[in-house]
Amino acid sequence: MTAVTETLLMQQYRDIKARHPQDILFFRMGDFYEMFEDDAKLAARELGLTLTSRNNGGAAEVPLAGVPVKAATEYLRRLVAKGHRVAICEQIEDPKLAKGVVRRAVVETVTPGTVLTDDWLAKNRNNYLVAVDPRDTAAGIATLDITTGELILEVVPTAELEAALGRYEARELVIPAETSLPTSQATMTSREAWEFDPELAREDLLRLYGIASLDGLGVSADDRPAVGAAGALLRYARELKPGGLPHLAHPTIVRRGDVLPLDEMTRRNLELVEPLRAGTDRSHAHANGRTAAAPLAARAARRSHCHQRAARRRASPRGRYAGARAPARGARRRARSGASGRARGPGPRDTAGNGRAARLDHAFARCGRRLGWARGT
């Protein structure tokens, strides 16, 4: 198929599509968003649309599928929920005033990790977009939630990368070209390797926060892999949102030892965020956060269970209670008087949820002791 035999409209479509090869292109034509060729076949399969064809001048007809502009939001939501990226191409001039083909341009790209519409997001979880640079012995991780402006930087050994990524439950992962990650649940987006350069990222962060040094943000020389990942992450997010990103908070630095390295199997068996039995609400996060009606509070409750903090105990004259929360005075008194032999039954607040929470607390304490994070004198 040559450019001579194609219509001017299809030439315009191919030029725009060439700049967005990984995306489904919603090409605005009047009151419809049209999709052509492979995009049309994919949309017809995923959305149940009727696949037709369009005359392309002297060339062969091309597959075509379309959705009404008024109903496009629902179709867009369904595609993104299935892990697809969608570029929205609008008419940027009045068709009545256009000379020849109406000028069009991509005004926004919607991906699983950059959704801003509240109705599309789960109420009880963050929608993290994560950039990862796994090319060294220490992998750099930068995590951004565009809806809240939260930015997290973390460096982990490459051997622990899978467990670290599992804590964020990312919908989309940004990685350097020609690299791969041991996960298939998230949408993978490849970027040029130079975008992960720590020096370019450092200059970008200095401009973003209007500061002279990253030291004031708690960033050290050991965080270079995470800084490089942050640079690639921000560059990618800006491309998707030409209108600008929301305000970004100062980055949170997660150090090795700050959280318990729980793998996916451990999190599932402890029912931290999801119950083992589908259709039930017996997870630990639900037991503690069921009264959190606001989405921000519900997401914070889930995040606290995904990122279990490691309790560091310090040497103290209090012996085995060193650095940990000592039992309440009443509890110690009852322990001293336990020789009476009188068994105490469950109190009025000892519900099933509280009992499960207590068992989880004991499990985390044992895990911390085995890893050497919670040693008293």
Instruction: Indicate the pLDDT class of residue 278, thresholds 50, 70 and 90.
Output: low
Q: What is the pLDDT of residues 228-254, one digit of tens each?
A: 999 999 999 988 887 777 788 899 998
Mark residue 189 as left, alpha or beta (left: phi above 0; alpha: psi -120 to 50; beta: remaining): beta
Q: Which of 153, 108, 125, 123 is nearest to 248 (CA)?
A: 153
Amino acid at site 214: L
Q: What is the pLDDT of residues 101-153, one digit of tens each?
A: 899 999 888 888 887 776 666 665 678 899 999 998 999 999 998 888 899 99
If one compares 222 and 290, the residue with the highest pLDDT of the two is: 222
Q: What angle do CA 294, 297, 303 make, to 5 degrees?
A: 140
Amino acid at site 331: A
Supply the pLDDT for residue 285.
45
Supply the pLDDT for residue 88.
93
Supply the pLDDT for residue 183.
64
Supply the pLDDT for residue 105.
93
Query: Rounded to an integer, what distance in angstroms lies between the CA atom of residue 155 and that of residue 164?
Result: 9
Q: What is the pLDDT of residues 10-35, one digit of tens each?
A: 899 999 999 999 899 999 998 999 99
Q: Does 44 score more than 90 pLDDT?
A: yes
- 7 CB contacts (<8 Å, ≥6 apart)? 55, 56, 57
What's the chain's average pLDDT?
A: 75
Amino acid at site 25: L
Q: Mind listing the domains of the chain with CATH numbers?
A: 8-110 (3.40.1170.10), 120-258 (3.30.420.110), 310-330+350-377 (no CATH)
Instruction: Indicate the pLDDT class of residue 363, thresholds 50, 70 and 90.
Output: low
Instruction: Indicate the pLDDT class of residue 352, thresholds 50, 70 and 90.
Output: very low
Average pLDDT estimate for 349-358: 52
Task: Spell out where the chain has E strands.
Answer: 24-29, 32-36, 52-56, 59-68, 86-91, 104-110, 129-133, 138-145, 150-157, 172-176, 187-191, 252-254
pTM recorded for the entire structure: 0.66
